[in-house]
Structure 1
């Protein structure tokens, strides 16, 4: 695998010289942050992007400048998708299936982080229901549209290190709610979904991988308490200094979206299939101490048996088998 790219690489670095004309990509969460940048970079290199968002008016405003940067026939269309409502998810999937045109890549980018305790329209804990179950239903319903040689890219996070999935109490019905633990569960679920999707579709030439974009200042942090982010960074830097590591640095949004487009179009499919990637590289597995801000994926997030168990539980929760 090429090591030409790393933590400082941007979307334009990764896609430099690439012509994506004729490629069709579905990107969820195109109303802000990484989703908008991912769509922009792909359209600027000729791809036809279908951008999904809960608030179409917000998405239209956020992506207004993308059309001016389009090259080689690149274009952006928008479609409504509320991942916290399975009715909306199914309506979106039905519309894409009715259209019938295949996708070369699906990038499951949308998500929420560290929300107060709450539930989706279907009664699932907000983060697990939105980040995992919404994408689980959407992607599986449109799986037939992913072309042979295509890829599914699931946005996860280093936050998966907070916690493994809880297959016995996914909705915090018996466990005291903790927003970080809930976020960690949902991000571990994103990785496990990629692992099992890859296993199920590899024979058809479709691969799946998980992506950690890095620490980025986006709307995702809107539920953090005032001063919480600053205190967390200060704690990370104190720990890093004690261990001889450089201080934590936030990525820019183009740097954060780089691994998504790298995994989608640049990385070797066999290298990333069923794996967790960050900084435009496949991450190493470690269950030892990991300093925040440094690479590493927990083994439980790549456990194939856990992945299959989560798939079965997810089918039971949403009332569909895939």
Structure 2
């Protein structure tokens, strides 16, 4: 019987007695938070980890513990310069990976930003949609040929996808008043739809994709929030919890937050998670689009797992980045 895990499970829980020797895994965003922990546990269990980061000097310092665990566990870590907000950087990184020609068993699209002030990437895309979705869209598709049979893609989404669906008519807020949480929700919905579409395109080659919600964790993601915003949000969530007869909200630890990515990428059955959205180390139920937007509730909005919607986003994304990707 498959081991059951939950919201309190950690990376070490889900990888207990699991050897990743011979596995080659790409993780984006290894200079902070979940990325560091994800890389650490993978390398500690014997995997060869390619860690991507925008700031290599910061990543070198941040991953010192990863290298120490890798040395003990038989794994390794190499760093790759990658700025997801600059498609020239993304393409340069993929050129290096393709030139090396070394296949991957898993790609974890972990990097991202949250609730940023209005801004644009180097290519003129709204910052959150451009960084969280389009950067990863180009990265993963350009190295799809390196994904071997039996490999997986895990995209990190969020319960924040419930804030908003993607807007394919106005992805860059050219006509819509900008709201940082609306933009964040759009980008996190896009992360799910990308996984749905990628899975549909590649499952015949035994390559699967899934999206995950890591849970609420205190990481550098909160750096753009104004003073007092996090406390106000926590109070609101606790009020919702009290009204529903639930216990007070608690943040996950970083090892608990990274657990679902590792579980979905390496432990869960591929057919169980492929083409789905997961949270707390299980596949989440689909909830109606008009369900309340409380962040304590489980589930994924129906619009975020709609195959036709995923295909439409794929086509729009290709148009925006000026590049088409074969099945």
The CA deviation at 1:72 is: 4.5
The CA deviation at 1:290 is: 5.4
Corresponding residue for residue 300 of structure 1: 303
- Aligned-partner Cα distance in 1 for 2:177–2:47: 45
**8 A contact 2:26–2:50 mirrored in 1:** yes
Moved over 3 A (4+): none
- Aligned-partner Cα distance in 2 for 1:245–1:2: 29
Q: Mapping of 1:218-237 within 5 angstroms? A: 218-237=219-238
Q: Does 1:315 align with 2:315?
A: no
**8 A contact 2:214–2:280 mirrored in 1:** yes
- Aligned-partner Cα distance in 2 for 1:291–1:188: 16
Q: Does 1:15 align with 2:15?
A: yes
The CA deviation at 1:294 is: 2.9
**8 A contact 2:90–2:139 mirrored in 1:** yes
**8 A contact 1:290–1:296 mirrored in 2:** no
Q: Mapping of 1:149-228 within 5 angstroms? A: 149-228=150-229
Q: Does 1:101 align with 2:102?
A: yes
Corresponding residue for residue 35 of structure 2: 35
Q: Helix, strand or coil for the counterpart of 1:65? A: helix
Query: Structure 1 regions of 5+ residues with no counterpart?
Result: none
- Aligned-partner Cα distance in 2 for 1:183–1:291: 16
Q: Helix, strand or coil for the counterpart of 2:79? A: strand
Provide the TM-score with structure 2 as the length reference. Answer: 0.97
Provide the TM-score with structure 1 as the length reference. Answer: 0.99
**8 A contact 1:50–1:78 mirrored in 2:** yes
The CA deviation at 1:39 is: 0.1
- Aligned-partner Cα distance in 1 for 2:68–2:83: 27
**8 A contact 2:86–2:123 mirrored in 1:** yes
Q: Helix, strand or coil for the counterpart of 1:42? A: helix
**8 A contact 2:160–2:295 mirrored in 1:** no
**8 A contact 2:43–2:76 mirrored in 1:** yes
The CA deviation at 1:183 is: 0.2
What is the RMSD of the two structures over their aligned residues, measured on CA atoms?
A: 1.0
**8 A contact 1:209–1:274 mirrored in 2:** yes
**8 A contact 2:158–2:213 mirrored in 1:** yes
- Aligned-partner Cα distance in 2 for 1:152–1:146: 9
- Aligned-partner Cα distance in 2 for 1:216–1:3: 24
Corresponding residue for residue 266 of structure 2: 265
The CA deviation at 1:244 is: 1.1
Corresponding residue for residue 253 of structure 1: 254
- Aligned-partner Cα distance in 1 for 2:220–2:3: 30
- Aligned-partner Cα distance in 2 for 1:66–1:195: 31
The CA deviation at 1:46 is: 0.1
- Aligned-partner Cα distance in 2 for 1:299–1:3: 28
Q: Helix, strand or coil for the counterpart of 1:164? A: coil
- Aligned-partner Cα distance in 1 for 2:294–2:124: 35
**8 A contact 1:213–1:260 mirrored in 2:** yes
Q: Does 1:5 align with 2:8?
A: no
**8 A contact 1:21–1:72 mirrored in 2:** no
Q: Deviations over 1:185-217 (max 9, x none)?
A: 000000000000000000000000001000000
Corresponding residue for residue 53 of structure 1: 53
The CA deviation at 1:293 is: 2.3
The CA deviation at 1:295 is: 1.5
Q: How many correspondences in the alignment? A: 322
Query: Structure 2 regions of 5+ residues with no counterpart?
Result: none
Q: Deviations over 1:217-244 (max 9, x none)?
A: 0000100011100111101111111111
Corresponding residue for residue 26 of structure 1: 26
Q: Helix, strand or coil for the counterpart of 1:257? A: helix
Q: Mapping of 1:82-101 within 5 angstroms? A: 82-101=83-102
- Aligned-partner Cα distance in 2 for 1:103–1:122: 28
The CA deviation at 1:3 is: 5.7
